[in-house]
Amino acid sequence: MNQDKIRIKEKLSYAAVNFGNIPIMTIINGYLLIFYTNICGLNPAACATLFLIARIMDGLNDPLVGFVIDHLPNTKMGHFRPTLIVGTILCSANFLLLWFGPMMAPAGKLAIAYVSYILLGILFPVMDISLNSLLPVMTGDMKERNALSAIKGLAYVIGALVIGVAAPLILGNTSNRDGYVKLILIAVAIIFFCSIIGTLGVKERIAPQKGESYTLKELFKILGQKPVYITFIVVLLYTIGSNMVSAVNTYFYTYILGDLTWAAILTLIMCVTIFPATMIVGNLANKYGKKKMYAIGLAIAGLTPLMRLVDVRSIPILIVSALITGIGSGFAAPLNYGIQADNTDYVELSMGVRAEGAIASLSSFISKCAMGIGGAIPGYLLQIAGFNGLSQSQPQEVKTVIIFCLIILPAIVNVTGILIFAKQYPLSKERLEEQAKRLAEKRAAKAAE
């Protein structure tokens, strides 16, 4: 019997634990800026500075968290599952403080926002890095890994779509205080129960071998491995672009289309293409390779929104753009996690260490920096353009900034990332097959010792 075979029940648990991870950053990226400006009365520039400082501090914390997690002793539950449960409990509590603290405080709103946001940067990595470290240790079988990668990507896509549909409907409008209370309470319930139940249902099959742990000095050498740093550069650029879009989307639907309900409608429309794309990308990756399909997915998702410049208020163009973008997102999202797992294997072969936590934490570091930059840019530009959160209409300069941050600037950074990945990422389909063969031989030899 193949010990790496993953049964349906465990795959469903893996989907659940990934689904539980989604609401935190999805809601923060999509609604925290407009929540701070329209509900708490903070100005966009102050929020931008908060996002930038806190995210960079958060990112710098991630490699240390990953190092600590990798060097914790194994338990009967495995290596990463205990920290995932602890991280979930702490992060759920702090997520409540992040929103309700500034909203309910009579004074010191910005100080509370800083404390809770920076605290999130300490607690969320414990949960997130542990989760992202699971895939490499659940199986060494490449087809099973591709299947789990697709499940992870599908869970992320479904989670983002559920929130994308539900959040606007729950809020009603971006200045509805009661709507935010309901949204956050529902989100915390999902985070807590899905993450805990899912964690209990998965298994860790690949345990670190003696002598495979790494030193703090080697952590920086891991970052110097070409597949690792090329992937991180691409993640950095693409996440900057996607977070700019997330930050201004609510402003677009509120102040340009004039109806937040369209955010939910367009999210549902994307389901028409994003689910089929997610379901078939595993087979396409097996046939053509992860590198090629990932680059194609990034190109489709990153460049298709440019067609909206023909008429930014055109609903038919918006619908067509959403449908095509869904294909690209359905390709790229699942493969990202499989590529990170492949990079972990590359590090094991080249350096002789298992470093799931290091790869996950360094990836998280890059993503956090990108989130800070991507979230800060719209805040600063909106402030310069004269945004007023108390006004129901905005000047043309503000609308121009919204379109620039929604479509044009993300496309520029996305093109840069796509070209770097296509030209420089070294792990082609053939090299991955050779890597898997060598790694299996190495593990078999160690097991025979």
**Do residues 376 and 396 touch, judged by C-beta distance below 8 A?**
no
Q: Between the CA of residue 99 and those of 39, 182, 203, 375, what are the distances in Å? A: 10, 11, 34, 17
Q: What's the pLDDT at 29?
A: 81
Token pair recorded at residue 391: 């006004």
Q: What's the pLDDT at 205?
A: 82
pLDDT in tens, 8-19: 999 999 999 999
75: β partners: 78
Taking the C-alpha atoms of residue 258 and residue 275, their distance in angstroms, rounded to an integer, is 28
The secondary element (H helix, E strand) that includes residue 55 is helix 44-70
Q: What's the pLDDT at 305?
A: 92
Q: How many CB atoms lie within 10 A of CB 232?
A: 21
Residues of the chain where predicted confidence (pLDDT) is lower than 70: 1-4, 59, 207-216, 354-357, 447-449
Q: Which amino acid is at 190?
A: I
pLDDT in tens, 107-131: 888 899 989 988 887 888 888 888 8
* Alpha helices (H) along 71-213: 81-104, 109-132, 134-138, 142-171, 177-200
386: left (phi over 0), alpha (psi -120 to 50) or beta: left
Q: Between the CA of residue 241 and those of 55, 234, 253, 378, what are the distances in Å? A: 16, 11, 18, 11
Q: What is the pTM of this model?
A: 0.69
Taking the C-alpha atoms of residue 132 and residue 136, their distance in angstroms, rounded to an integer, is 9
Q: What's the pLDDT at 1?
A: 40
Helices 44-70 and 356-385 meet at what angle, rounded to 10?
A: 180
434: left (phi over 0), alpha (psi -120 to 50) or beta: alpha
